[in-house]
Amino acid sequence: MKVDAYDLSWISITDDRDLLVGEWVISIGNPFGLFKVNDQPSVSVGVVSALGRSFRRQADGREYLDMIQTDAAINPGNSGGPLINSLGKAVGVNTFIFTSDEGSTGSIGIGFAIPSATVLRVVDNLRLRAEFNDKIWTGMAVNNLNWPVARSLNYPSLNGVLVTNVIPDGPAEVAGMQPGDIMMAINGVRINSIRSLSQYFDNHDLRVGDVLDFEIYRGDDSMIVHMRLVEAPPR
């Protein structure tokens, strides 16, 4: 999409990796189409509730990695608006919220934003290639480790990423990965958390057909599995 517009206001984008849980943030957007009433954006204030949240949407398999969680009110119409720190710099792009079981579409204080590092990676790809390759798929869901899980698996630290689910016939299952495996490294690069996993994918120009060597921990032993990336299924 191209818009012929001039003299637009702009803000700087800063590295979301400097964010701290509990830090103040501001959400700006157009909730419920209020621009139709007044041509001014709406602003809500909250804090960074958590970092590195990752999800896989059951309906279409879409994966959201390393998301910023905030309790700043995000409602329909806020998606695409910036999440700003107290210095007035964008740290993310508001994306989606969790809603109540009653079917309400309003904010209940659990919203998520794409981190600025991911936004900048997409922008750089668009500048270089006029396209963005987001079609690779691993076919697995992951989560950060905690001590109860690590102890139950006889794993001695919290450095690693827990595989919580593998999709039947997906790349992870074909490679031999199983729920309960702990991912420790990819191609020799240590993976200590979902954030470092996301950064690995951010920093490498991965394509459909690429093969990654995953070092995993399973049953008191470590092993290497080879995963070939495939194109994501249709959404």
List domains and CATH numbers for the chain: 16-129 (2.40.10.10), 136-231 (2.30.42.10)
Predicted confidence at residue 105, as pLDDT, reads 60
Predicted confidence at residue 87, as pLDDT, reads 93
Predicted TM-score (pTM) above 0.75? no
pLDDT in tens, 10-41: 889 998 888 999 999 999 988 777 667 777 78
pLDDT in tens, 152-206: 999 999 999 999 999 999 999 999 999 999 999 999 999 999 888 887 887 777 8
* Average pLDDT of the residues in 120-139: 74
**What 8-state DSSP symbol labels residue 193?**
S
Predicted confidence at residue 35, as pLDDT, reads 66
More confident residue, 90 or 108: 90
In this predicted structure, the answer to whether residue 94 has a pLDDT above a threshold of 80 is: yes
68 in Cβ contact with 115 (< 8 Å): yes
Percent of residues, the chain, with pLDDT higher than 70: 87
d(CA 220, CA 85): 43
Residue with tokens 């070939």: 228
Which band of pLDDT confidence, cut at 50, 70 and 90, is reported for residue 137?
Answer: confident
pLDDT in tens, 36-78: 777 778 889 999 999 888 776 655 556 677 889 999 988 888 8
170 in Cβ contact with 192 (< 8 Å): no
Predicted confidence at residue 206, as pLDDT, reads 82
Which band of pLDDT confidence, cut at 50, 70 and 90, is reported for residue 96?
Answer: confident
- Phi-psi region at 80: left, alpha or beta (left = phi > 0; alpha = psi -120 to 50): left
Predicted confidence at residue 117, as pLDDT, reads 85
Looking only at the bridges linking them, the beta strands covering 42-56 and 161-166 are: unpaired
Predicted confidence at residue 103, as pLDDT, reads 54
